[in-house]
Structure 1
């Protein structure tokens, strides 16, 4: 197949999880013998030192300056078997209309933030997707499964809503054999809706257990946050360093955005990354989680700081290691980039026959 993707970013992982997702998925898709062109809007905040993959070896990466700049790729879009437009693409409404107008193969929308998108559509202020575009996408590839797929079909007229959960390249994310530095870590960009959960499940336990070590990595955290002395802060950890980040942590925390908790069936890419590294995960609860990782066997679900501190202080090393190994085994069973690439290939082939 020839695939063209218009996504938020492939070249820069700074402050977004899209790049990590696209890299693992498209690398695996190309490994199946397919040709991929990724078109990225050239914006200053993803350029310069923040551009950590300027020349991928698994696809062709090209930049465009504005909507007029897309016209130079009109022929390649027309010749592609499938054209995928991602969520949060700058001027995504216009980009989507342009893609649908020129695509002769399957036109698809890839939503890495489905509950956020649907909430914005309901409010009438979604900047990257218009309701009238949804029926024109033969596929609506969603990071969220479960009941959300029915809503996309029934309320928004999608002819092909399909779950395409995030994934990880298990060859690049592997268990770490070095020493542990942190009892509990968290990796994620600041968001208002996640912060109360981070306070409850990491910052409060850190205050209550000054003898333990914690770490929070990610950009955009306000200077007004009162970090306990035993919480180490990193402004940014690039994808190449994620395995080590997880590896030096006895446990890592997964915190889910509020819209995704309400929708359920919305696993984050950080969840899969940590599992691939064999790092035991403590997660906030959400519906559908048991279909991804089993509570108490592959992952621990915590509703408050007491549950977090119980895991950190009472779980023995053998039990902790077994939990991490079980999480990795589950990842290898169903959630690798290879699994997702095969699903994407099948969805495109199916839509092409309709």
Structure 2
């Protein structure tokens, strides 16, 4: 297939977790012989912040982990959809795009576009910013890919689309896999952004306070940490590492004994079944994971076996002591989580699901499932 993707960015993961999943999906599609083009806005906020804070050399570093990764920059004023979509079989448009772009691509599809057109939602804004999401004009789209059943159902209930599929995120196991562990540099590592005060109390209860009270050696990576957050980390004796390129996370996980997952409040309260990308990646790296409460309503994992669940701060402290002081238990939890990821939650699994959606939409099977000979010819 010729596949065109409109996303906020594939080059930058600065405060932009969707890039993690997108990179793995693009690589998997290309390995199967599909022709993939990504379009992202010129001067997008994530890439701007990355370059301003860390320099363009980070884009060169990305190539070492994702050889050949590329994008096409556009502006709403200059983009020529007739040219961009001339040969497309499948077009995916992400929910972080401008309303105007979403509308124009839909209009292009209605005016003779031969491709199948899907909207891709990977955020909680369908619940928390419903008015804004309702303004997306999806009349001429063939359906929605939603990263959780609850969001999929909402699109259908609100009449925003006629068809919708659940398409969870997953781990890109070409980058997220267990690295050799030698000497640990500390006890706990956490990778995550502070995030609009959506989990401030939870971060104190399940992360900062337990580390402080147990006297653990810990390091935290992420962006958008306000002054009060950095002060709290320093007070707890936690080292703050700033932004960490996502593709380096696996190497960091290998230096520590445990990590935790602290979901944002909208996912816990209004969107059960959506773990977001971080726990997929942590488990794929073979590090034991302890999570604050979230409802695995879609049975993605086996809580208590793939990862441990702490219902409150005291349970988090108890679980941390268990993992740190009982190496065999730590290995058992890590192995179960890794096994579940490899069996069910890789980008290859998600591309399999996408191919079934394409088949349901009526795309010719010979385009969806390329023969080995066709894949070789495409690579040449």
- TM-score, normalized by length of structure 2? 0.84
In the alignment, is the contact (CA less than 8 A) between 1:30 and 1:58 conserved in 2? no
Match of 1:282 in 2: 290
- For these two proteins, the number of residue pairs brought into alignment is 342
Match of 1:69 in 2: 78
1:230 aligns to 2:234 (yes or no):
no
CA-to-aligned-CA distance 1:40-86 (integer Å, 9 cap, x gap): 1121335462653676646652111x201222x53231421111111
Correspondence for 1:136 among 125, 133, 140: 140
Task: Give the secondary-structure state (helix, strand or coil) at the position aligned to 1:52.
Answer: helix
Cα offset, 1:171, TM superposition: 2.6
User: What stretches of structure 2 of length at least 5 have no aligned partner?
Assistant: 365-380
In the alignment, is the contact (CA less than 8 A) between 1:35 and 1:59 conserved in 2? no
* C-alpha distance in 2 between matches for 1:285 and 1:11: 32
Cα offset, 1:223, TM superposition: 1.2
Match of 2:127 in 1: 118
Task: Give the secondary-structure state (helix, strand or coil) at the position aligned to 1:234.
Answer: strand
* C-alpha distance in 2 between matches for 1:221 and 1:144: 28
Correspondence for 1:87 among 95, 108, 115: 95
In the alignment, is the contact (CA less than 8 A) between 2:106 and 2:140 conserved in 1? yes
Match of 1:347 in 2: 357
* C-alpha distance in 1 between matches for 2:152 and 2:105: 23
In the alignment, is the contact (CA less than 8 A) between 2:292 and 2:311 conserved in 1? yes
Bigger shift: 10-19 or 317-326? Answer: 10-19
Match of 1:171 in 2: 174
* C-alpha distance in 2 between matches for 1:118 and 1:135: 20
Task: Give the secondary-structure state (helix, strand or coil) at the position aligned to 1:75.
Answer: helix
Cα offset, 1:118, TM superposition: 3.2
Runs of 4 or more, structure 1, over 4 Å off, are: 53-60
Correspondence for 1:331 among 341, 344, 348: 341
Cα offset, 1:172, TM superposition: 1.8
CA-to-aligned-CA distance 1:235-277 (integer Å, 9 cap, x gap): 1111231101211221111121222222111121111110110
CA-to-aligned-CA distance 1:296-331 (integer Å, 9 cap, x gap): 111111121211111121341001111001100000
Cα offset, 1:139, TM superposition: 2.2
* C-alpha distance in 2 between matches for 1:290 and 1:158: 22
Relative to structure 1, the CA distance from residue 184 to residue 29 in structure 2 (aligned partners, 3 Å threshold; closer, same or farther) is same
User: What stretches of structure 1 of length at least 5 have no aligned partner?
Assistant: none
Cα offset, 1:174, TM superposition: 1.6
Match of 1:154 in 2: 157
Relative to structure 1, the CA distance from residue 197 to residue 231 in structure 2 (aligned partners, 3 Å threshold; closer, same or farther) is same
Relative to structure 1, the CA distance from residue 310 to residue 270 in structure 2 (aligned partners, 3 Å threshold; closer, same or farther) is same
Match of 1:4 in 2: 4
